[in-house]
Structures are given as structure tokens and as C-alpha cells.
Amino acid sequence: MSANQRRAARPSADRPGTGVGENRGPPPKKAPGGTGRLLLVVHLNNMLHNLAMMMNQTALPFLTKSLGVGNRIFGAFTTTTAIAQLIGSPLFGRFGDVYGGRLSLTVSFLAMTTVSLMLAACGSIPVLFLTRLPLLFIHIVPSFQMVVSDVTDDESRAGALGLLGLSMISGIVLGALSGGMVTEKYSPSTSFLVAALLSVLSTVAVWFSIPTQTKQKKKDDKPKPSKWIFAYYNCGISRNVPNFCSLAFFLFPEGGVFDVKELQRLLRVPGVAKLLGTKFLLLMSCMIIQSILPVILTDIFQMGAQDTGIFFMASGIMGAVFQVAVVGPLSTRFKDKSLILLASFLIAVAGLLMAGATTVRHMYFGFAPHVFGNVMFDVVINSALSKAVPQEDTGAVMGFTGTVYHLSMVMSPLLSAIMLENLGFSSLGLTSSAINGLILLSGSMLL
């Protein structure tokens, strides 16, 4: 096929469901063999992971309360969580591209098991902060997104990623409900131990079920010669005073996990930087509320463990229904830009509604459009990003989506805690609406 024919075969960015700045060639017409079974394994383990994660999250506020953690320390703890995952996200994305989905998922699930066991044994605030260290290696959702992107074509990718979100929400619903019940009936430690057991099961499942490499190699692909980048660091105070830092030198394979040029190349792909920037702003508008939501529910609205679990369960059900009934059909009829702006509008409305919430019922009513907007922009932007880059870079670009998520989590928790303490709960909703107002006004420049 000639270059002109290949160019003509590419989907137009003006048609519904196409990515912003899309530049990759036509996908394979046929999915690799065994795709159905592979996707079933992916969805099952994605559900188990989010079930375990939600059990941890539901039990965590009660552990922190028993340790005497205040709002500011909780905000710093959440920020530490985000920093740990922020550092690992871009590198782990490249790790998945280079070493494959099986190894990246196995490492992540082992780290998740370690976190749950450490939380179960936690008895002090310093140990609580130490439980964040294994989070450097927990990037399960981006790894699953990479696998799904690798085995689907451009036409079906948005729907496939949407179903991945459905299995995630199913796990969140079950985890919120079971986590609240186990924590209330037994203890937070019991909930953490159950989460650890679920992570062990997923570790075994992905090791024996996920292929070593899910990327489809072309027949004319030739192995590239191995090149190495030499990096030398001198940390000495004086040139005449040697120290151990002077001996720190590394050899990095070019095109490997630590090749920064590869990550910079992705950011220069048309549309990628704009999509990531837009997602960051949307995430900030959501995380300014979500990052401190457990504290809001337990302290301001006086919800117990079971009521908190029911709230998260209801939110998950709303998100699942909206994703299947609305986001999927809309993604085939409208352009990505229109759907992203619609998501921003929904989150802006939600912020105004939650700013005036005084009862639990008000909170349910205001949080619904927040969930709808969050689900919509997450699916649409991830799909657009996966279509904008070549298949061999899907892991790295999904790692970047994790990076912007964790960057928002670094910035939002402490800010949210300070605003909640000094300006009240309504300030969080108003700030969320203001951010989305700016997105709507400058939509043509951002997208």
C-alpha cells in the first residue's frame, strides 16, 4: 500500500468517535486470536483489583481516625500517596511497552498485596506513611488499558475501554459495600486482609492468563540494534573532594524504560499534550472534592462505615449505568471534543449543586452529574489518546494518563483540606465549577 493510500485509509478527525490529533495508521482488521478469553480475564481481574482497592479505601478513614489523624495530616497522607504513584506512572507505562502486560501486572498486584498487609499491621502514623512506598509499583488500571488498547482496533476501542470502566465500577460497588460491612462488623484490619487475599488471587490469575506480550508485531519489523546511554552524576561539594556520589553512573538502554527521549517524543505527537492538559484540569475539578470525600462524608454528613459504603456503591451503580447506556452510544455519534465539553458542563453543574448541599439526600443528588461527567471524560480522553499514538506506545501514553491523575492528587488533597477547614465545604464545589467554567470558555484552545 502506498503512502497516499495509507493516508486516505486513516479515519478523519472530523468524524464521530475519532481522537483529537489522531495520527496513527489503520488498525489491523482482525483482532488477535483468543481476544475474547483475554478480555474476560482482564475484566475479572480489573473487578477484583477495584474491589480490593475500595475495601482498603472504605476502611482507611477509620484506621486514620483510630490513629488520631486530623484533616491536614490526612491531606498530607493523600498527597504522599499521589507523589509515590506520580513518580512511577510514566516509567511503569514504558515498562509495560518494553516487558509486556504479564510482568507489569504481576509486579503491580504483588505491590498491592504488600500495601494491604502493611495497612492491616499498621499501628502508628509513621508506619501509615510507609505503606505508601509500594505504591510506586501499583499501576494496574493503566496496564489493563494498555492490554485492551493493544488487542482492539480504533473502531471498537472506546467501547472496549468503556467496558473496562464497567468492570472497574462493578468492583468499586462491591468493594464499597463489602468494605463497609466488614469494617463495621469486624475491624479495618480484617478488611485490609481480605483485600490482600484478593490481590494474591489476581497475581496468580494474570501470571497464568495474560500473554507475555500483547502488542501485534508487523511481519517487516526488524529488531533494532541495542544502543546504550551513559549517565554519570557527580554530587561532590568540591571537585577535589571525592565522595560516594561521584561513583554513581548508569547504563540505560536507548528505547528502554528509562529513555526520557521516548517519553518526550510522545508528548510531541499532535494532540497528545492538549488532551493530557485538558484531562489534568478536569481531574483537578473532580479531585478537589473526591480526594477528601471520605472525610466529608464521615465528618460533615456524619455517615458511618456502612452508610459511606452505600454512598460509594450508589455512585458506582450510577456511573456503570451511565457508561453503558449513554457514553458508549454517544461515542459513536459525536466527536470527542463535544463529549469532553459536555462532561465539563456536567461537572460544573455538580459543583454548584454540592456547594449548596446540607443533607445526605442533597449530596446524592449533587454527586450524580459529577459521576456522569467523570466517567465520560475519562473514557473519551483515554480512547482519543490511544488512537493518537502507535500501538507500541500505548503503555507509555496510558502511563501519562496515570501521571496527570496522580499529579492532580498531589495538588488537590492538601488544598482541599485547607479550604474545607478555613472556607467550608461549599468552597470546594464552587472551585470545581469555576475550573470547568474556564474549560468551557477556552474549549477551542484546549482541544
Question: Is pLDDT of 214 > 90?
Answer: no
Residue 203 has pLDDT above 80, yes or no: yes
Q: Which pLDDT score, from 0 to 100, does residue 228 have?
A: 41
Kindly state the DSSP code that residue 241 receives in the 8-state scheme.
Answer: B
Instruction: Report how far apart the first and last C-alpha atoms of the chain are (Å, whole number).
Output: 32
* Among candidate residues 412, 411, 410, the one with its CA nearest the CA of residue 81: 410
Residues 6+ apart with CB under 8 A from 98: 255, 256, 257
Closest CA to 385 of 372, 374, 373, 401: 401
Whether 100 and 333 have beta carbons less than 8 Å apart is answered as no
> pLDDT tens digits for 410-425?
888 778 888 888 888 8
* CA gap 391, 25 in Å, rounded: 10
pLDDT surpassing 60 at residue 40: yes
Q: Can you tell me the distance from the alpha carbon of 199 to that of 202, in angstroms, rounded to the nearest whole number?
A: 5
**Which segments of 183-329 are extended strands (E)?**
228-233, 248-253
Q: Is residue 19 scored above 60 in pLDDT?
A: no
DSSP 191-222: HHHHHHHHHHHHHHHHHHHS-S--SPPPTT--
Cell numbers at 105, concatenated: 501486572
Q: What is the pLDDT of residue 22?
A: 47
The CATH number fitting domain 33-215+266-446, selected from 2.120.10.30, 3.40.640.10, 1.10.10.10, 1.20.1250.20:
1.20.1250.20
Average pLDDT over residues 19-36: 50
Tell me: pLDDT of 25 over 70.
no
Q: Is the pLDDT of residue 3 over 70?
A: no
309-340 tens-digit pLDDT = 788 878 878 887 887 788 878 877 888 888 99
Q: Return the residue matching grid coordinates 533494532.
A: 224
Domain segments of the chain as ranges: 33-215+266-446
Whether 372 shows a pLDDT value over 50: the answer reads: yes
Rounded to 10 degrees, the C-alpha dihedral 37/41/46/49 comes to 180
> Is residue 350 a contact partner of residue 373, using CB atoms and an 8 Å limit?
yes
Residue 327 has what pLDDT?
81
Range from 145-154, 249-258, 310-319, 418-427 carrying the lowest mean pLDDT: 249-258
CA distance 195 to 50: 10
Residue with cell 484490619: 189
Band (pLDDT 50/70/90 cuts) for residue 224 is: very low
pLDDT tens for 158-180 read 677 777 777 887 888 788 888 88
What's residue 158's pLDDT?
67
The larger pLDDT score, comparing residue 130 to residue 149, is at 130
Q: Which has the minimum average pLDDT: 31-45, 107-121, 210-224?
A: 210-224
152 contact partners, CB below 8 Å, separation of at least 6:
31, 35, 160
pLDDT of the residue at 282: 93
The burial of 426, by beta-carbon neighbours within 10 Å (0-12 exposed, 13-18 middle, 19 or more buried), is given as: middle
Distance of CA 63 to the CA centre of its chain: 24
| Confidence (pTM) | 0.66
Alpha-carbon span 349 to 99, nearest angstrom: 43
Q: Looking at mean pLDDT, say which of 4-18, 86-100, 375-389 comes out highest.
A: 375-389
Least confident of 23-27, 64-68, 353-357, 390-394: 23-27
Q: Which three cell numbers stand for residue 49?
A: 483489583
Is 90 exceeded by the pLDDT of residue 274?
no
Which of these, 134, 98, 195, lies nearest to 399 by C-alpha position?
A: 98
Q: How much is the pLDDT for 263?
A: 67
Of 64-68, 76-80, 105-109, the range with the lowest mean pLDDT is 76-80
Q: How many helices (H) and strands (E) does the chain have?
A: 18, 2
pLDDT tens per residue, range 75-101: 788 778 878 888 877 777 777 777 777
Kindly indicate the confidence band of residue 445, based on its pLDDT and cuts at 50, 70 and 90. low
Q: Which residues pair with 71 in a beta bridge?
A: none
Per-residue pLDDT at 50? 92
C-beta separation of 447 from 338 below 8 A? no
Task: Name the residue among 22, 273, 14, 318 with its Cα closest to residue 157.
Answer: 22
* Bridge pairing between strands 248-253 and 228-233: antiparallel
Which residues share a beta bridge with 238? 241
Residue 357 pLDDT greater than 90, yes or no: no
- The continuous run of DSSP H or E covering 134 comes out as none
Check residue 155 and give its pLDDT: 67
